[in-house]
Amino acid sequence: MKKRMQKKNPVWDWRGAVTPAVRWAFLCCFAAGFFAHLFAFTNIIPNSDGISRVSDPQQMTVSGRWFLHYATMWNGYIQAPAVIGFFSLLFLSLSAALTVQLLRVQSPVIGGLCGALMSVFPSVAYTFLYMFTASAYFFGLLFAILAVWLTHKYRLGFLPGAVLLACAVGTYQAYLAAAASLALILVILAGLEGKRSGKELLCLGLRFLGMLALGMLLYFGLLKLFLTVKHLQLLDYKGISALGSDITLQGILSLLWLTYKRFVQYFFTGSFAHYTTPVAIAANVVMAAAGLWAFVRLIRKNRCWQKPAAFVLTLCLCCLLPLALNLTVMMGEAMPIMRYALVFAYVLALALVDRAGERPRREQKPPKPVLVLRLTGVVAALLLTIISFNIDNLAYTVSAQAHRATLSFATRLVDRVESTPGYQKGMEVVVIGGFPRNVYYADIEAYELVEDYSNYSSSVIPRNKHVYYYLNDWLNVPWQEPPEETMIAVSDSSEFRAMPLYPDDGSIRILNGRVIVKLASQYKPKQPYEIQYENRR
């Protein structure tokens, strides 16, 4: 009878795996995320991309995101902040729970802090500034972490893991860094246990590496298939279409140096991310000190040097950690939304503190060094959570003010046009230029802390095409964007060059049956990637 019962037992006991630390990671991630991003969930804050996504099926195969259309199904392809926010936090919380379970964090406090940091990390706020696609992106993140989880838990788990990774990267390419970082962290922690030989540790690392490599092969194969079936080409945008076509040793070494440099700048200098203030740098230093202290304590506690091959391999892998965490730099320009993997630096430090703080069962009270170590890690994590909370809401404040400024500007612009002598309903309106930033710039010192400030400071219509997106999709003003040839011809005309810039008198004129609005001195023709994007499917 006992043998029959044993056969029916599941391969993985989920009840035993859902420890208090895992539960607290889920709950704290959801709760902290709810309060940190509540403003974004209760308001629609369009940015320069979001204004064209009131309703959009997210067919972004041309950007290499062939799975994004399917991952966006949760919110029905429309701007629905409350629904998108709920699903986003659900996926984030599941990701945090899986991460804490994978790292075998025991302390509920540390597990909860890992979850909180994963939901308030500034990259999350920047993702919610692209609310129209946020739930899909966090669904992709969950797939990336689940890919690592399957590979770690099951002998053949790298096969379904590779499929999930391909879908994750097909949703947003930056989540390759999240999967690679978590996999590397797991191998490092396994090496610090002092139980595996160098061969065993190498096999574990190769299994993760095989999942990552197979996942990327599947990603590129499926991308090629989607492009072929849809008769599309990758966008000529930031080197996407030429990715991997011009690889040289000098170029690789240059990118490697930049990756490590940006890693140090992000956490310890503030010259990479504007929101890395002196207080944030101090908290990062404290967190790094706690992690390093715990790292050394684990080496001594587990006598890792007794397995020299595994010990040396672990130290070498630690040197690769900044590369994995900041892998998006290798892909090109690492915008704030692309840096989510960097949060795993904090998660690793907390996991090390948790493991180094484990006390023998017979001891009634942990020694003072352990208490100091845990307290240091917890205080640093709490401080970083508060800092990130403030940065998140500052980003929302900047973006909301930019929308208000844009709304005010666009409304007055429409009124000026309709008040122009000779204007008749249905006339073609040719607007040359975007929001005149030199006239309406929001000069508030605190706003400088917001990364990618130029996109959120004053307006959501920085380019010519955004003017028509905003008027059509947000204000229901039926001014259709003229053909490219018309825009160029008007911009090159002597009459247009003689007009003053808006809002001066004479900046709006009726010429040849068209209303001409001069927001810029010259029209900037659309780039090839913009035309490709407009024809996406």
Tokens 């392809």 sit at which residue? 77
201 close to 310: Cβ distance less than 8 angstroms: yes
What are the backbone dihedrals phi and psi of residue 432, each rounded to the nearest 5 degrees, phi first?
-105, 110
- The predicted structure's pLDDT at residue 364: 61
Beginning with the edge strand found earlier in the chain, give each strand of the sheet holding 508-511 in spatial order. 428-432, 514-518, 508-511
* Residue 237: per-residue pLDDT: 57
β-pairing verdict for 508-511 and 428-432: unpaired
- Structure confidence at residue 310 (pLDDT): 92
Question: What is the C-alpha to C-alpha distance for residues 304 and 536, in angstroms, rounded to an integer?
Answer: 54
Amino acid 449 reads L
Digit-by-digit pLDDT tens for the chain (537 residues) are: 444 444 444 455 556 678 999 999 999 999 999 999 999 999 988 877 777 777 777 878 888 899 998 998 887 778 889 999 999 999 999 999 999 999 999 999 999 999 999 999 999 999 998 888 999 999 999 999 999 999 999 989 999 999 999 999 999 999 999 999 999 999 999 999 988 999 999 999 999 999 999 999 999 999 999 988 888 888 765 555 445 555 677 778 888 898 999 999 999 987 788 888 899 999 999 999 999 999 999 999 999 999 999 999 999 999 999 999 999 888 766 788 899 999 999 999 999 999 987 655 555 677 788 888 899 999 999 999 999 999 999 989 888 888 888 899 999 999 999 999 999 988 999 999 988 877 777 677 677 777 664 455 667 888 888 899 899 988 999 999 999 999 999 999 999 999 999 989 999 999 888 999 999 999 988 887 777 777 666
- From CA 395, how far away is CA 453, in angstroms rounded? 9
Residue 518 one-letter amino acid: K
Specify the pLDDT at position 146: 97
> Looking at residue 4, what is its pLDDT?
47
Q: Which residue type occupies 80?
A: A
Phi then psi for residue 11, to 5 deg, are -65, -35
Decide: 353 and 373 in contact? Cβ < 8 Å.
Answer: yes
In this prediction, residue 5 carries a pLDDT of 43
